[in-house]
Structure 1
């Protein structure tokens, strides 16, 4: 278990280490970049919008003038973008120490389909990250200090994998979001098992940020007026800042005591807010047959095969 009240002050020195953070320009992604850069890491902001990335880097450098930051374009909803990012990385040949899989969208009011034919929440939140991980895995520095951190959600508790319609053609906004976050958690757990089975010391450690006040909620619109009002009240009463929500991500990415295959989130009531601690994985997220089936479907969907 992590120490009580683990904070960014407890991050070990990250000098000489390189982190890639998806969804890095706002919310918990931005806060993770801020903290990692402050601890000495070189951080790559992998994001869709160059302008937002430049503004984020400027803001971070106002806090940490010597921060080693760079922007690389990445849209996790696009397989061509994911492959272009990974190919550019392969050519550069730099070793990766941390891959923080954070980019996400939530509760799109209408079903949207990506250029690859995927439902957009599943593509952005999960399939793009699955493919990115597989393509970047050969670039990881060997050793248990190298971490892959998939960002899941307490929404996994009510999620189901709809294998008969993973792309949610019979669309329901919140169900599609819950499925994507359940998939991220199951991916993280299965990935760590497969890494160990392959003899790799790289660790996969899924996390969730609890109930955190970020733009992902403001962008989502797939809720009734009553649901939106209830959601606003819930976030006002239980929500925590993005800086606090980023702590489980940072713990998993940097703490020597973080356990591969563990699942970390806030330690408070309903895991909504608090300090990093081991979190509850609901039983359906540990279904080994479903995890293997999800992996096989993900490989077939993305065309990225690894650790098979």
Structure 2
């Protein structure tokens, strides 16, 4: 008896659900039919709908435009090995490595700290992607000693380790402060450099410069891609040829240091491409001439995203302002005008996947600049000045060597003091 009642109840509820779904499907048809046969005045709430429709349509168009384009290319990454920075951002970086892991890539993720949280993050990434070839190495890009230690360990292998590319998505943006009301607080790295210059410029430059032998040692048929993310704010930056690490520049604007770190890194990447290609051309074997274009350096501008950096800037590093200003006041506008991390990742994935960067399709050694999944031109005059790029590269390398020697002396002095105690 009870079973019969329960079956009847279930069947009745299923019938009701099907009736509701049918009504929902017929609703647009009924509305259109009513408008055609009886006029729009018979449509419920037509006046309110008419008043709100322009705003809703405008918001939809703006959001569709601001979300950017979607990467449509895909490569098989099984067996390929990549070094990745900035992967644990829970935004663009995480979206990129998740897609790469799903496509079968072996990932070595460089992170500032290897702790309980980061270990759990890696386990979660392995489960979500079904790929166990994901590893984490400690390498704080703001610390030149850690960068050299990692790069030396990577190069200390015979035969050379396989490397199919480096994806640089790490970065630091400090709060800009309220002009004329609060003095910007200068944060320093372990080497005494301004933190943004250390993280965004010196550390990345040092890593890629040290890894040049690894890029050159790869087989000629291997497509190696060095992808470095930048920011449109680089157009507001300055270049310091005599003091490329900005050790003696007055800290009067956090924005100036951030923009300049991105600009100087981009300029050095153009010179890095030329040096790698030139070095490979010198390594001709068995009479086979090589172009060096199997190693490509690409700059990617992912667009303005609702990232951790944007939240820090808009809230000026304040939790109260984050809750009141960012979450309650600005978020609706930011949702319309900025990208999510997943959407920002599309240009990085495009740079990784597109056949345009394969050696057979490259006619010159120029670095490609990608924005919204398409190749665009770099407009500032510094990007056309090879002499400036070469001088900046050499000057940066020399200043890093001097700073490393200085810090090595300090480390040795501390060790002696500790041993005596």
Contact 1:182 1:285 in 2 (8 A): no
CA distance in 2, matches of 1:164, 1:231: 41
Task: Tell me if 1:39 matches 2:103.
Answer: yes
**Displacement after TM superposition at 1:164 (Å):** 5.8
TM-score (norm 1): 0.84
CA distance in 2, matches of 1:74, 1:231: 35
Aligned twin of 1:299: 397
Higher relative contact order (CA 8 A, sep 6+): 1
Q: Quick one: structure 1 residues 157 and 132, their matched pair in 2 at CA, closer, same or farther if it must change by over 3 Å?
A: same
Task: Tell me if 1:123 matches 2:198.
Answer: yes
CA distance in 2, matches of 1:66, 1:224: 36
Task: Tell me if 1:132 matches 2:194.
Answer: no
What's the Cα RMSD here?
2.8
CA distance in 2, matches of 1:112, 1:207: 27
For 2:79, what is the secondary structure of its paired residue? Answer: coil
In proportion to residue count, which structure has more helix?
2
**Displacement after TM superposition at 1:263 (Å):** 0.4
Contact 2:107 2:133 in 1 (8 A): yes
TM-score (norm 2): 0.63
- Aligned residue pairs: how many? 290
In the alignment, structure 1 segments of 5+ residues that lack a partner are: 267-275
**Displacement after TM superposition at 1:246 (Å):** 1.4
Aligned twin of 1:96: 163
CA distance in 1, matches of 2:386, 2:258: 21
**Displacement after TM superposition at 1:55 (Å):** 3.0
Q: Quick one: structure 1 residues 6 and 256, their matched pair in 2 at CA, closer, same or farther if it must change by over 3 Å?
A: farther
Q: Aligned runs of 1:226-305 on 2, under 5 Å?
A: 235-258=334-357, 261-266=367-372, 276-286=373-383, 287-303=385-401
For 2:227, what is the secondary structure of its paired residue? Answer: strand
Computing the radius of gyration from Cα coordinates, the structure with the larger value is: 2
For 2:211, what is the secondary structure of its paired residue? Answer: helix
Contact 2:242 2:395 in 1 (8 A): no
In the alignment, structure 2 segments of 5+ residues that lack a partner are: 1-67, 176-183, 282-291, 403-421
Deviations 1:169-194 (A, max 9, x none): 33310011000111122122222222
Aligned twin of 1:158: 236
Q: Quick one: structure 1 residues 303 and 164, their matched pair in 2 at CA, closer, same or farther if it must change by over 3 Å?
A: closer
